[in-house]
Structure 1
Amino acid sequence: MKWYTALAIYTVIWWLVLFMVLPWGNRPIATEDVAKGHAAGSPERPRILIKFALTSIVAAVVFAIGYWAYVSDLISIRR
């Protein structure tokens, strides 16, 4: 597998995992604390950097398992 193919696969996995991780632990802002122009359903503390780090770790694990299966010839893109 070429490095750019691996990077493309990791990027797709990363984005899929990000959309799975984003809703974890979100609590909406209380209705009385909503400022004008803000959505009532927006999270109070999104913790986006923690979610990016968690996404990177989970995506790396998923990619490593897939790469191991590819190298071990358990899966093949040529068959």
Structure 2
Amino acid sequence: MSVTTGIAIYFVLWWVVLFLTLPFGVRSQHEDGTFAEGTDPGAPVLAKLWWKLLATTVLSAILFTLFTWLFLTRRLTLDDLASLWGLLK
């Protein structure tokens, strides 16, 4: 795997993990009972975005390292993935 391919895969993985972590721990103004004037009741009170960015980076690095190791040691191949998804018989 080239460095450019690795960076591209990590970039896509990072965004997928970010969208998975965004909903965790968010409380809306309606749930919290505090409303800011002129905002939607469903708006988050405190999103804790820096913690989610840190968690996303760490989790993405762990997943990327695991799958890269599996790929480079040939424990997981593209044929394995294709047969898992039913593309090869």
TM-score, scaled relative to structure 2: 0.78
Rg (Cα) greater in structure: 2
DSSP-derived class of the 2:61 partner: helix
Q: Which amino acid aligns with 1:33?
A: F
Report 1 or 2 for greater relative contact order, CA contacts < 8 Å, sequence distance ≥ 6: 1
Give 1:50 deviation, angstroms.
0.6
Aligned to 1:22: 22
Provide structure 2 residue ranges, at least 5 long, that are not aligned to the other structure.
80-89
Query: Which residue is equivalent to 1:35?
Result: 37
Which residue is 2:84 aligned to?
A: none
**Structure 2 counterpart of 1:15, which letter?**
W
Partner deviation per Cα, 1:38-79 (whole Å, 9 max, x = no partner): 2221110001011000000000011011000011012234x5
Aligned: 1:48 with 2:60: no
Which residue does the alignment assign to 2:12?
Answer: 12
Counterpart Cα distance in 1 of 2:40 and 2:11: 30
Report runs of 4+ in structure 1 exceeding 4 Å deviation.
none
Aligned to 2:76: 75
Structure 1: runs of 5+ lacking an equivalent = none
CA deviation vs aligned residue, 1:2-27 (integer Å, no higher than 9, x gap): 11100000011100100110000010
| Residues 32 and 55 of structure 1, relative CA distance in 2, 3 Å threshold | closer
**Among the aligned pairs, what percent are the same residue?**
29
